Structure 1
């Protein structure tokens, strides 16, 4: 491995010079690469020498592009992941990665170039034509998701020997150390239904969606878990249900979202059991015998969109849990819209209900217990999402009770 200055004269008589890195790779092939600056040549020589010793060196001429390896990654992911997840990954590659760096060689993927890509992804470029995929800025959540997919592509390339290291590993975000990403905290009456609104919704719920909505409220199940719930997993005698499967957006039954999503949830309060007992007598069986608790009218997997359109939204409107759209109908009356547009609002309510104190209308459960009921992977996820909801100041009565429990404190205080 040598670094030396090279001088030459072009056919037009122009004198030029460059720094040449001359070396032999791990396959015994002689390689050479030139640089304008010595510091760049020295850095390349140091990195290439280490890669050659480890048998991982890849030269530019044989390096694959980001898109080449991305397609390999997608092919493997198609056989390993749920279809919905695979489609998300495909969109990441085709809509966000390929337009920016799809044709770039893997050998040129380093931290500075990746940082430029992520900045361009977040910032967009209004000077580009409207049909150019690089024009519109991506949201922080999308940039984070694309970064994760790009890291998976690089890891795939590393395992296949197309690049020496995954440059995204060890690359920090642009946030300062210890600084968390800011996000809007959940609010009662905005993201989470109030107790009064829940009571109105329960009273207004009718028909075949009534048991589904009530179960959603008092179990905190995800929409996919509700759609995939089987009667075999509901023990009405012991007032509990088990989450063992889910139905994705393509009506495919599969495992729950994660290992911690497989859990047992008590059916509480008791009237939830009574609602399910009544519903079981009417529940459509269907020809496929999927044994679903909340199927469509012919016993098959219910479409998520239909639950929202035919179940949640009409119930919201009937209960008066609405917001004014600011528009008026032909008679001059305000046009109202449902206040909550997804079943996840009930999951948020269930978590807050479990965490809140009994004197405030909640169940007063420990956060770790709520984590298990929700199927969260860590207690940190539960506390980060819902911890602020049950912060409270002890009133004078509570403080008096504490002091009476510890008479030694009273004596020492006097």
Structure 2
């Protein structure tokens, strides 16, 4: 491996010079030309290490990041990943990766380039959470390219190893904050108002009672089949979900397959609803009005969930972009639903499972809660809900423990 200076004259007689790195990798000779000697020296230093470790990929055999990204998405489609997942990958590639490093050769990527991409995304206004997801996608692109023999190094993984474990996750958590009852999670009093405002019977009563007292995801509610509802045992088996494209498939993960017990009022509501439920080949518990298809998620939110909250008084006043209250033609405040998504009911279910029995909850352990929610890991459950578990050190319990300790001492 060597560096040599190359000098020549242009057709117009101008003197030009460049620096050439001459090296051999896997028995083949390669040349790289640089305008500055310092750039050539830096490249030579990197090449010495890569050639020694067998991790070098010649530039003429390397794809661009965009080309490798297309290969990655094609492989994901072939693997049968859900369309919503593929859509997310496509957005990462087209909107956040290709515009900045899409034309770069994989072999030219360095750890510094990944860090520079993060800085550019942040300057463009991307959130920390989105930047982290984009970096993960870029790492997956490089991993796929490694398997195909198009690049030897995965600089994203190298960057991850150089950072303190969990630092970014903790920073993101601080920015996002913890879920709060009455803000992100409906309070028991609000749930009582919502139940009181429900229709006396019918699909929507059963739908929201199941959502409140089983914690099913919206996709799992839309994909629930009667064959998975055991009314005698009072159990629901989660075996499928319906995605944003109305396509049925397996739950999000292996842990998503689970059995959830139902309280008596939920069972009674489902028994009544089963008699009136439109019959269809899909055997759905909560189908469209004619029973032929799953309900659209947006219809559930706009036609049922938000109106139900407003009817129950679980609402907030609408404000304009300047923070001023919006009023109707009669001067009355315009109200909107307090909780915009169905996931709020899943959060309530988690809090209900966590709360002690003295406080009207089930008092379940974190491990049982993980199983009920279908979380892939206990860490996900704890990261989301650990602050809701009783600490056991409130004033009354401390006083009781203290008195027992002093009593034993005497």
Answer yes or no: is 1:57 the counterpart of 2:53. Answer: no
1:241-267 deviation line (CA, Å, top 9, x unaligned): 110100001110100011111111000
Answer yes or no: is 1:44 the counterpart of 2:46. Answer: yes
Residue 316 of structure 2 aligns to a residue whose secondary structure is: strand
Alpha-carbon distance, 1:306 to partner: 0.8
Distance (Å, rounded) in 2 between the aligned partners of 1:391 and 1:173? 36
Distance (Å, rounded) in 2 between the aligned partners of 1:99 and 1:314? 42
**Gap change, CA 1:108 and 1:342, over 3 Å in 2:** same
Answer yes or no: is 1:284 the counterpart of 2:284. Answer: no
**Gap change, CA 1:237 and 1:33, over 3 Å in 2:** same
Matches within 5 A, 1:199-238: 199-206=192-199, 207-238=202-233
Give the alignment partner of residue 409 of structure 2, picking from 404, 408, 413.
413
What's the counterpart of residue 287 of structure 2? 295
Distance (Å, rounded) in 1 between the aligned partners of 2:18 and 2:285? 76
Answer yes or no: is 1:114 the counterpart of 2:107. Answer: no
Alpha-carbon distance, 1:5 to partner: 3.7
Q: Structure 1: 5+ residue runs without aligned partners?
A: 125-136
Distance (Å, rounded) in 2 between the aligned partners of 1:194 and 1:139? 29
Distance (Å, rounded) in 2 between the aligned partners of 1:280 and 1:401? 50
Answer yes or no: is 1:140 the counterpart of 2:105. Answer: no
CA contact (8 A) 1:21 1:45 kept: no
What's the counterpart of residue 102 of structure 2? 102
Matches within 5 A, 1:14-413: 14=15, 16=17, 18=19, 20-26=20-26, 28-35=27-34, 36-37=37-38, 39-50=41-52, 54=54, 57-79=56-78, 80-124=80-124, 137-172=125-160, 179=167, 180-181=170-171, 182=174, 183-206=176-199, 207-268=202-263, 270-286=264-280, 289-299=281-291, 300-325=293-318, 326-392=325-391, 394-395=393-394, 397-399=396-398, 402=401, 409-410=405-406, 413=409
CA contact (8 A) 2:56 2:153 kept: no
CA contact (8 A) 1:233 1:242 kept: yes
**Gap change, CA 1:175 and 1:44, over 3 Å in 2:** closer
Alpha-carbon distance, 1:271 to partner: 0.9
CA contact (8 A) 1:58 1:163 kept: yes
1:375-403 deviation line (CA, Å, top 9, x unaligned): 11222211111111234454565456557
Length-normalised TM-score, structure 1 = 0.88
Residue 237 of structure 2 aligns to a residue whose secondary structure is: strand
What's the counterpart of residue 129 of structure 1? none
CA contact (8 A) 2:47 2:56 kept: no
Alpha-carbon distance, 1:176 to partner: 5.4
1:161-194 deviation line (CA, Å, top 9, x unaligned): 1101111113139975553122211111110101
Distance (Å, rounded) in 1 between the aligned partners of 2:385 and 2:166? 21
Structure number having the greater helix percentage: 2
RMSD (Å), alpha carbons? 2.2
1:197-254 deviation line (CA, Å, top 9, x unaligned): 1011111112421110110000000000000011111111111111010000111010
Residue 364 of structure 1 aligns to a residue whose secondary structure is: coil
Distance (Å, rounded) in 1 between the aligned partners of 2:392 and 2:156? 44
Alpha-carbon distance, 1:413 to partner: 2.6
What's the counterpart of residue 134 of structure 1? none
Alpha-carbon distance, 1:47 to partner: 3.2
**Gap change, CA 1:410 and 1:401, over 3 Å in 2:** same
CA contact (8 A) 2:3 2:41 kept: no
Alpha-carbon distance, 1:107 to partner: 1.2
Alpha-carbon distance, 1:29 to partner: 3.4
Q: Structure 2: 5+ residue runs without aligned partners?
A: 319-324
